[in-house]
Amino acid sequence: MLILYRALVIFFATLVFAAGVHAVEDSPSKIEYAIAIHGGALSKQSKLTDAEKEQYRRTLARLLKTGCTMLAEGRRAIDVVEETIRRMEDDPIFNAGRGAVFNRVGRHELDASIMDGRTHQAGAVAAVTTVKNPISLARLVMTETRHVLLSSEGADKFADEMKDKPQIQRVPNRYFSTDKRRRQWREAVEMEKKEKDQTTPLRPGTVGCVALDKKGNLAAGTSTGGLTNKKWGRVGDSPIIGAGTYADNATCAVSGTGIGEYFIRSSAAFHVSALMAYQGLSVDEAVRYVLKKVLPPDTGGIIALDRHGRISMHFNTPGMLRAAADSTGKTEIRLMK
């Protein structure tokens, strides 16, 4: 009888333990919503004045507050990502929309993409020249066409077709110009003429946003003017789904910034998700692995957010403009290491 009694005690204890573990694993996350944003990676040549640093901090704080308010009100992650990036495209301190860098022929070509982690639907535009907010045009590619990516004149023509949409505004190419970006372009041209190191310094900044809403849905988006003095027609990673942008409710939402050619070659954004899905890595472990083992040094940074609201923001450059917040009140705003 004693042996039977002990066996029953062990059996029921095992059931209670298993039930407790199951309850912990299935319990809802304490984080109801979360958001992370970046404003571009920084190279050694990217010297920021104290005034510029303060301006970036204030802007990132304002964007976080707006994004968190929208998420707290129950807005969808995909809406929050689009709206956050629209605001960054309208701010000339970023290399996206107004404030985009100049290409080799002295014009602006803009790229953007957005992805819904719930449906895996995505939209992107590349080398657009007259659309005020490329991220909104990218979303319309997702919702209004059977395609994922439209480029150049075809993307601008699609904008003509979407002219009745309030989120689409057409502007002359010169709208994107700023004196600061023009100076940077002229410096790059002179550097090339002198046949010095032709590696283009990373300028802040390509912009990106990842978000988790109250319903557990993830979304990601990225927008950029590209690299200073880039060849006419060059397209980087920002409009390439799986390279600069990726979102999957089962794993994470990702946005990258840096030298796009490296992100494209390694499918960097999808690589983060794949490491989580196939190797069981956490979002932070996956981001660190890609930056350390997959991408070459001094090529960029990544922000990512998993389905539990856990945020990862890392880079292999001297710095990255970045900020994050969640429903628990946690807030982080950083520029350098």
Indicate which residues carry an active-site annotation. Answer: 206
CA distance 100 to 45: 18
What gap in Å lies between CA 243 and CA 112, rounded to an integer?
A: 12
CA 159 to each of CA 29, 111, 128, 225: distance values in angstroms, whole numbers, following the listed order: 40, 14, 9, 18
Instruction: Specify whether the CB–CB gap between 284 and 305 falls below 8 A.
Output: no
Residue 234, CA distances (Å) to 49, 116, 228, 239 in order: 30, 26, 11, 12
Phi/psi of residue 119, nearest 5 degrees: -105, -15
Q: What is the DSSP letter of 251?
A: S
Beta pairing, strands 149-151 & 122-128: parallel
CA distance 296 to 260: 12
Write the single-letter amino acid at 2: L
Question: Kind and range of the H or E element at 110?
Answer: strand 110-116
Residue 315 sits at φ, ψ, to 5 deg, of -160, 160
Residues 6+ apart with CB under 8 A from 93: 39, 52, 55, 56, 59, 99, 204
Q: d(Cα 217, Cα 117) in Å, to the nearest integer?
A: 6
Q: How far apart, in Å, do the first and last CA atoms of the chain sit?
A: 65
